A and B are shown apart, each in its own frame.
Chain A
Amino acid sequence: MEKLYPLTAAQNMHYQWIRQYHTQQVSGISIVAAIQLELDFALLKRCINEETKRYECLNLRFTKPDESGQIRQYLKRKVIRNTKILSLSSMSFEEADNVLQTMAYETFDGDDIPMYEFLMVKLPDGFNGFFVHIDHRLIDSCGLAVMVKDIMALYAHYAFGKSYPEALAKFEDVLISDLTKSTNEKRLTRDMAFFEGQLDKYGEPLYSDIQGKKVLEKSRLAHNNPNLRSADIETQNLYVAVKNYKLEPEPTRRLMDFCSKNRISFNNLLLLSMRTYLSKVNDGQEDITIENFIARRSTHDEWTSGGSRTIMFPCRTIIGGKVSFMDAALMIQNAQNNIYIHSNYDPEKINSSMKRRFGTPDGTTYESCYLTYQPLEITDKTLDLSGIPLYFKWYANGAATKKVYLTVTHTPEGGLNFSYHYQTAHLVEKDIELFYYYMMKILFAGIETPDITIGSIIESV
C-alpha cells in the first residue's frame, strides 16, 4: 500500500480551482520540445521511461475525495507506460500547433489514475521530440524546464556518449520536508502574525480592473451594496485567448541594467508597472492588489525535485501619486521580501481570514490581474545542444481562472516575451494591447527618470 500524503498549499491551490470551476482543464499544463535532428525514437522512448523513474513527481496520483471533499496524494512507482509516436511532419507548423493545442485542452478525469501523457512527435521542417500534457499539481513550469533538460541530457548520453546527468533530488523527501515546514508551529505563528498584521494595518483591499471602475460598480449593483470592495469572478465562460508581445533585446537590457544598478528585482518592476496602469484606469486609485506567483525554489533539492511549488500571494500596494517611481519600486520590493520569507503559508488562509473579517461575498475577488515572471529559460544554449535548433512551446490549457494572467519570460535573443492570457468573456484584444502599451510607457518613463512621481507618470503616459 502506497503512503498517502496531504496536498501541499501549492497543490491545493490548483485543486480548489478544479473544484470551484468544475473542470480539471484549469489545472493542465503542456509543452512541446523538439530539435531539428533525426531522432532514434526507440531510444527517446527509453529516455522518457527512465525519466519517469528519475523524476518521481511524474508518478503522483490522487485519491477519490473524502466526505469533506479532500483528496490525498501518493506515488505509484514502477508503472511503465507506452509512449506513442504522433507524426505531424506533413503539416505546416501552424497546423501542427493546432493539433497539439487541442490536446492541451484535454482533461485527466478520474481518481487514482496517471496524471500525465507523453507523446513523441515528428514536427514539420525535420523537428523531432516530445509533447507532454500534465496536471499542474504534479509539476510547475520550473519543474517542466528541469525535466526537459534532463530528458535531453539522457538522450545525449545514450546517443552521443555525453556524461550521464546528475541525480535529481527525491521528490518524496522534499514533499515530506515541505509538509513538515507547513505544520511547524513557530513558523506558522510567525507567518500568520505577518499576514493578519497586514490586514489589521491596511483593512479590506479594493478591487481594480483593467476595464476601469465600471467593473466594480457593476458588482456593487448586482450585490446591492454600494460599499462593496470586491468584484464578481467569471465562473461560467472560462475560455481564454492568448496575446504575445516581444520586447527587443536593447530595451530589455536597459530594464535589466536599471534593476541591477538599483538592486531592484525585475519581478517587482513588473508589479509596479502593472499596478500603475491599474491605478491610471481606475481614476488614480492608490490601493491596488495584484496576485503574484512565486516559484518557491531556492535550494538545489527544491530545484531538481520537480513537483508543484509555485504559489500565488496577493501583492498589495498602497502608493500615493506623490511617491517617486524609485521609492514606489522600493516599497514593493520591501513588501515582496516580507511575503517571500512567509511564503510557506497557505494563501487560502489569507482568503478565509478576509472573508471572515470583511464578509467578502462568495464568488468575488479583490484582484483582476496575475503575474508570473520566469527567469528560467529553455533555449538551445541552456540545453547544451551544440547549435542544433530547438523548437519549444508552452500551450495554454484553454481555461483561465483569472481575468488577465501575464507571464513574462526571456527570449533566446535576449529580449522579453509578454504573454497575456485573458478571459474572452469580458476582454478583447484591444484591452490587452492597451495594457501592454501603457506598461511599457510606465516602465521606461520610470527607469529614465526614477525621481518622477507616480502621479506624473499616470498623467504623462
Chain B
Amino acid sequence: MKNEKLFKEFLAQYCSVAPADMKNDMRFCEDLGLSSFDFMSLLGDLEDNFDLELNLDNVGNITTIGEALDLICMAQKIL
C-alpha cells in the first residue's frame, strides 16, 4: 500500500523506529515516543509535503499509525 509505505518513511524522521518495524497498531506517544508537538508537526508537514488538507477536528483522538492512515485516506477521498 503506497500511502502506508510513504507515511512510515515520513514518520521515521520523527522517531527512532525503522519503517519496516512499524506496525499499524503502534501508538505515537507510548510506542514511538512522539510528544504532542511532534505529532502535530508531523501532520502539518504531511499536509505541506503531500498537498493534503487533513480534517483536524478530532485529531486528539488519533493515537495509532493505523488511525493516522485512515485520516490521510479520508483527506485523499475529499481531494
Contact = CB atoms under 8 A, between A and B. Distances in A.
A340 B41 CA distance: 7
Nearest to B42: A298
A455 B35 CA distance: 30
B38 interface: yes
Contact of B59 (A296, A301, A337): A337
B36 A340 contact: yes
Nearest to A264: B36
B36 A333 contact: yes
B40 A299 contact: no
Contacts of A330: 60
Interface in B29-79: 29, 34-38, 40-44, 47-48, 51, 56, 59-60, 63
A298 B48 contact: no
Contacts of A294: 37
Nearest to B44: A341
A12 B48 CA distance: 23
B41 A343 contact: yes
A40 B41 CA distance: 42
Contacts, number: 54
A24 interface: no
B48 A337 contact: no
Contacts of B29: 263
A154 B63 CA distance: 38
Contacts of B56: 338, 341
A404 B28 CA distance: 34
Contact of B14 (A187, A265, A298, A343): A298
B36 A299 contact: no
A290 interface: no
A265 B48 CA distance: 25
Contacts of A263: 29, 63
Contacts of A295: 37
B24 interface: no
Interface string B8-39: 00000110000000000000010000111110
Given A181-B48, A186-B48, A336-B36, A341 B43 contact: yes
B41 A298 contact: yes
Contacts of A340: 36-37, 40-41, 44
B13 A342 contact: no
Given A298-B14, A299-B13, A337 B44 contact: no
B56 to A, nearest CB: 7
Contacts of A296: 37, 41
Point out which of B35, B47, B63 has the most chain A C-beta atoms below 10 A from its C-beta.
Answer: B35
Interface centre among A184, A295, A299, A334 (most CB of B within 10 A): A299
Interface residues of A, number: 26
Interface in A155-199: 181, 184, 186-187, 190
B13 A184 contact: no
Contacts of B40: 337, 340-341
A273 interface: no
Interface in A73-123: none
A334 B59 CA distance: 9
A141 interface: no
Contacts of A336: 36
A300 interface: yes
A413 B59 CA distance: 35
A301 B13 contact: yes
Contacts of B48: 181, 184, 186-187
A344 interface: yes
A298 B37 contact: yes
Interface in A295-345: 295-296, 298-301, 330, 333-334, 336-338, 340-344
Interface in A241-276: 263, 265
Given A299-B14, A300-B13, A333-B60, A265 B35 contact: yes
B42 A337 contact: no
Nearest to A337: B40
Sort A-B residue pairs by CB-CB distance and give the 3 closest, nearest first. Answer: A340-B40, A298-B41, A341-B40
Interface of A: 181, 184, 186-187, 190, 263, 265, 294-296, 298-301, 330, 333-334, 336-338, 340-344, 375
Interface of B: 13-14, 29, 34-38, 40-44, 47-48, 51, 56, 59-60, 63
Given A295-B37, A340-B44, A343-B41, 11 more contacts: A265-B35, A296-B41, A299-B13, A300-B14, A301-B13, A336-B36, A340-B37, A340-B41, A341-B41, A342-B44, A343-B37
18 contacts: A186-B48, A187-B44, A187-B47, A187-B48, A295-B37, A296-B37, A298-B14, A298-B42, A299-B14, A334-B60, A337-B36, A337-B59, A338-B56, A340-B36, A340-B37, A340-B44, A341-B40, A343-B37
